[in-house]
Structure 1
Amino acid sequence: MPRGGSRRHTEMRAEEKTRWRAVNAPCSLCGQATIDWDAPANTPDALEVDHTLPVKTHPHLEFEPSNRKPSHHRCNRAKGAGAAAPGIGVTSEAW
C-alpha cells in the first residue's frame, strides 16, 4: 500500500490537522499539547500522524480514522512500528 505521499493520505492528513489544530489536540504518545502545527516536516515538534496499530502489521487500517492520532514527529519516530511506551498517567495538577 502506498504511504505518506498518496493523495488519499495527504487529503486525510490535511482534514485531520485542521480538526486537531482547532482543539489543540495533544500528542497521542506523550500527552503534551505542544505540537507545532506550522513546523516543517521532520522537525521534533511537527505534527505526524501516528497509527495506533502500525501499518506495517495492520496495512488494512492505514486509512481507518480511529487508528490515526496526532503525535509529535519525535514521539512517533521513537515509537516506530512498535507499541507506544506507557504514559505517566493522570497528573494531580495542570502544569
Structure 2
Amino acid sequence: MLPPLAGSGAAYNPEVNARIAQIKRTGLDDILRRWRDMYPGVDLDAQVTAGPCAQRLLQAGSEAGLMVVGRRIRRSSVGTPIGPVAHAILHHSTAPVAVIVHE
C-alpha cells in the first residue's frame, strides 16, 4: 500500500505515480514470491494502491469472507497494543477479522 500523496506538483503527476507504483509492485512481488512458492494452491491477489491504508483495505475487502491483518509485537507497556490500521479494520470491516501478530 502506498502512502497517501500530499503536496502538489510531481506528487500528482500520473507518470510519477505509475513509476512509484511499479517500484512498490516489484518489491511486493519479491516479498510474496516465497509464500507463493510455499503455497501454490492458494490464490493471491496482490494490489498496489495509493491512499489511506485502512480505507483502501476496507474497500478491497468489502466482499471478503475474512480480513487478515498483521500487527507487530509491542514491547512497551505504553500505547495501544494494535496500530491504527488494524484498529480501523476491526471496527469497520463487514467481514470477520483475524489479527496476526508478527515481529
Is TM (by shorter chain) over 0.5? no
CA radius of gyration, larger in: 2
TM-score between both structures, scaled by the size of structure 1: 0.35
Greater helix proportion: 2
